[in-house]
Structure 1
Amino acid sequence: FFESGGDSILALQLIAKARRLGFDLSVRDLFKAPRIIELASRIDSRKALPQGIPKIETSPAGPSREVAERLGRLFPALEAILPLTPLQQGILFHSLESKGAYQVQLQFRVEGNFDPDRFGAAWRQVIGRHQLLRMAVPEGESAWMVIVGRTELPWQFADWRKEPDPGKKLREYVRADREQGFDLGQAPLLRLGVFQVADQAWEVVINNHHITLDGWSLSIVLADVLRIYHGETLPPPLPFGRFADWLHARPMEKSLAWWKENLSGFDKPNRIDLPSSGVEKGFGEHTVTLSHEISGKLQQTARMLRTTPGILLQSVWGMLIARLSRDEDVVFGNVVAGRPAEIPGIEKMVGMFINTIPVRLKTEGRTLRQLVDELTTCQGEREEHETTPLHQIQAQAPIPRGMALFESLFVYENYPVDERLREERGLDFTIGDVRGNEAPHYPYSLAVLPGKEFTLQLTFDRRRCDLLNASALVRWFGNLLASALANPDAEIAELSLVDGAERRFVMEECNATAADYPRDKTLHRLFEEQAERVPGQIAVRCGADQLT
Structure 2
Amino acid sequence: PDTASAARTPHADTPGPDTPRPGTSTPRTHPDPPQLPPSAATVPLTPHQHTLLQDALAHPDPGRHVEQLHWRWRGPLDTDRFTAAWQSVTDRETVLRAAFDRHAPRLLLHEHTTVDVVRHPAGSVGFGHLSARDHTRGFDLHRPPLLRLNLLDEQTPPGSGPRVRILLTFQSLVLDVWSVSLLLQEFYRAYLAGGRLPGGERRPDIRDYARWLARQDTAPARDFWSRTPPPGTAPALPAAPGPATGLSGTGRAEARLGAAHTDRLRAWAASCAATETGALHTAWALLLYRAAAATGPATVGFNVTVPGRGIALDSVERLPGLLTNTLPLTVRVDPAASVTRLLAQLRDTALDIASYEWVSLAQAHRWSGRRPPQEPAQSVLVCENRRHGGDGLRRSLAAQGITVSPPRPAAARTLFPVTLSAHRDTDDGLVLTAVHDRARLADTDAAHLVTQCARLLRELPGLRGGLASVTDALAALAGEPQVRMARPPSAATGPEPTSGEPPP
With the shorter chain as reference, the TM-score category is 0.7 to 0.9
- State the TM-score, normalizing by the size of structure 1: 0.73
Tell me whether 1:147 sits opposite 2:117 in the alignment. no
**Cα offset for 1:400?**
3.4
Amino acid aligned to 1:399: R
The aligned counterpart of 1:173 is 130
Tell whether the 8 Å contact from 2:230 to 2:365 is kept in structure 1 after alignment.
Answer: no
**Cα offset for 1:201?**
1.5
Q: Secondary structure at the match of 1:91?
A: helix
Q: Quick one: structure 1 residues 375 and 352, their matched pair in 2 at CA, closer, same or farther if it must change by over 3 Å?
A: same
Deviations 1:421-480 (A, max 9, x none): 872442421123743124211111110103521110011111222111111111211222
- The equivalent position to 1:85 in structure 2, one of 40, 46, 71, is 46
Number of equivalences: 428
Amino acid aligned to 2:79: P
Deviations 1:24-51 (A, max 9, x none): xxxxxxxxxxxxxxxxxxxxxxxxxxxx
Amino acid aligned to 2:346: L
Tell me whether 1:494 sits opposite 2:472 in the alignment. yes
Deviations 1:232-286 (A, max 9, x none): 8556522221111111221212101111102269625522236566221111001
Q: Quick one: structure 1 residues 298 and 427, their matched pair in 2 at CA, closer, same or farther if it must change by over 3 Å?
A: farther
The aligned counterpart of 1:267 is 233
- The equivalent position to 1:249 in structure 2, one of 215, 218, 226, is 215
Task: Report 1:269-288 matches (<5 A).
Answer: 269-271=235-237, 272-273=239-240, 278-288=245-255
The aligned counterpart of 1:469 is 445
Q: Displaced runs of 4+ in structure 1, greater than 6 A?
A: none
Tell whether the 8 Å contact from 1:274 to 1:465 is kept in structure 2 after alignment.
Answer: no
- The equivalent position to 1:228 in structure 2, one of 162, 169, 190, is 190
Task: Report 1:154-169 matches (<5 A).
Answer: 154-160=116-122, 163=123, 168-169=125-126
**Structure 2 runs not aligned, ≥5 long:** 1-31, 156-160, 483-504
Amino acid aligned to 2:190: I
- The equivalent position to 1:485 in structure 2, one of 461, 469, 477, is 461
Task: Report 1:90-239 matches (<5 A).
Answer: 90-96=51-57, 97=59, 98-141=61-104, 143-160=105-122, 163=123, 168-198=125-155, 200-231=162-193, 237-238=202-203, 239=205
Q: Quick one: structure 1 residues 205 and 76, their matched pair in 2 at CA, closer, same or farther if it must change by over 3 Å?
A: farther
- The equivalent position to 1:317 in structure 2, one of 278, 284, 288, is 284
The aligned counterpart of 2:328 is 358
Give the Cα separation in 1 of the matches to 2:135 and 2:343.
40
Give the Cα separation in 2 of the matches to 1:418 and 1:86.
31
Tell whether the 8 Å contact from 1:226 to 1:420 is kept in structure 2 after alignment.
Answer: no
Give the Cα separation in 1 of the matches to 2:373 and 2:54.
15
Amino acid aligned to 1:110: W
Amino acid aligned to 1:440: T
The aligned counterpart of 1:526 is none
Tell whether the 8 Å contact from 1:446 to 1:459 is kept in structure 2 after alignment.
Answer: yes
Work out the percentage of aligned pairs sharing the same amino acid: 22
Q: Quick one: structure 1 residues 196 and 266, their matched pair in 2 at CA, closer, same or farther if it must change by over 3 Å?
A: closer
Give the Cα separation in 2 of the matches to 1:278 and 1:379.
34
Deviations 1:109-159 (A, max 9, x none): 211122122111100000111111111002243x21111010111221232
Give the Cα separation in 1 of the matches to 2:147 and 2:302.
31
Give the Cα separation in 2 of the matches to 1:212 and 1:265.
27
Give the Cα separation in 1 of the matches to 2:277 and 2:113.
39
The aligned counterpart of 1:343 is 313
Tell whether the 8 Å contact from 2:258 to 2:429 is kept in structure 1 after alignment.
Answer: yes
Tell whether the 8 Å contact from 2:231 to 2:370 is kept in structure 1 after alignment.
Answer: no
**Cα offset for 1:418?**
3.4
Q: Secondary structure at the match of 1:495?
A: helix
Q: Quick one: structure 1 residues 499 and 314, their matched pair in 2 at CA, closer, same or farther if it must change by over 3 Å?
A: closer
**Cα offset for 1:393?**
0.9
Tell me whether 1:371 sits opposite 2:342 in the alignment. yes
Q: Secondary structure at the match of 2:317?
A: helix
Deviations 1:193-229 (A, max 9, x none): 1122346121211111001211111111000000110
Amino acid aligned to 2:43: L
The aligned counterpart of 2:266 is 299
Amino acid aligned to 1:428: G
Give the Cα separation in 2 of the matches to 1:285 and 1:291.
20
**Cα offset for 1:170?**
2.6
- The equivalent position to 2:429 in structure 1, one of 444, 453, 460, is 453
What's the Cα RMSD here?
Answer: 2.6
Q: Quick one: structure 1 residues 358 and 318, their matched pair in 2 at CA, closer, same or farther if it must change by over 3 Å?
A: same
- The equivalent position to 2:399 in structure 1, one of 412, 422, 426, is 426
Give the Cα separation in 1 of the matches to 2:364 and 2:331.
16
| Larger-Rg structure | 1
**Cα offset for 1:347?**
0.8
Give the Cα separation in 1 of the matches to 2:249 and 2:231.
33
Q: Quick one: structure 1 residues 243 and 497, their matched pair in 2 at CA, closer, same or farther if it must change by over 3 Å?
A: farther
Give the Cα separation in 1 of the matches to 2:392 and 2:252.
27
**Cα offset for 1:99?**
2.1
Deviations 1:306-332 (A, max 9, x none): 112111211211111111123521110
The aligned counterpart of 1:543 is none
Tell whether the 8 Å contact from 2:149 to 2:166 is kept in structure 1 after alignment.
Answer: yes
Tell whether the 8 Å contact from 2:154 to 2:164 is kept in structure 1 after alignment.
Answer: yes
**Cα offset for 1:291?**
2.0
